[in-house]
Structure 1
Amino acid sequence: MCTIVPISLSIGANRIVPTVSIPYPLGNPELSPAEEKHLRRDLVLKAFKALTTKVDGQTVF
């Protein structure tokens, strides 16, 4: 999980899951608590999917 995809690509990460922003990678303080919980859950589920997906080379999810 990363906030700046080009950096992850440049260092050779195989699985890259983009996040929200640099100061709040897994959240957004402008959302309601329920909306932010939904956002975080979606990002974590996407990361789990990335870990269980077979990849050949770098993949951005």
Structure 2
Amino acid sequence: MTKEIEKAGITIVQMANLIPIAKTVGANRMVPTISIPYPLGDPSTPKEEQWKLRHHRVGVALDALATEIEEQTVFKVKI
């Protein structure tokens, strides 16, 4: 789906935990997430830690939107 959205001229970032699959389907900008059931969080951690994690990942995704790329790119995130 990301490929079709980009064909329409809209820049998009794929946030995914399965980066190899995102690459295979043609995503250009990818940001790794945590897991399938909780892509942007970990319910076993305190709420403050979850917020920091989410804030960071969304920030990386926003930076990815503003970055010119020539090929498929996986943007780095803090662990």
The residue correspondences of 1:26-45 to structure 2 (distance < 5 A) are 26-45=40-59
Structure 2 CA distance for aligned equivalents of residues 12 and 55 of structure 1: 14
Deviating 4+ runs (over 2 angstroms): none
**Larger-Rg structure:** 2
User: Of Structure 1 and Structure 2, which has the larger fraction of its residues in strand?
Assistant: 2
Q: Alignment identity in percent?
A: 49
Structure 2 stretches of 5 or more lacking a match? 1-14
RMSD: 0.5
User: TM-score, normalising length from structure 1?
Assistant: 0.96
Structure 1 stretches of 5 or more lacking a match? none
Structure possessing the higher relative contact order (Cα contacts under 8 Å, 6 or more residues apart) = 1
- Residue by residue, what CA displacement relative to the aligned partner does 1:5-59 show, whole Å, maximum 9, x if unpaired? 0010001110000000111001101110000000000000000011100001100
Structure 2 CA distance for aligned equivalents of residues 12 and 18 of structure 1: 15
Aligned length: 61
User: TM-score, normalising length from structure 2?
Assistant: 0.75
Structure 1 CA distance for aligned equivalents of residues 57 and 32 of structure 2: 8
User: Of Structure 1 and Structure 2, which has the larger fraction of its residues in helix?
Assistant: 1
1:52 corresponds to which letter in structure 2? A
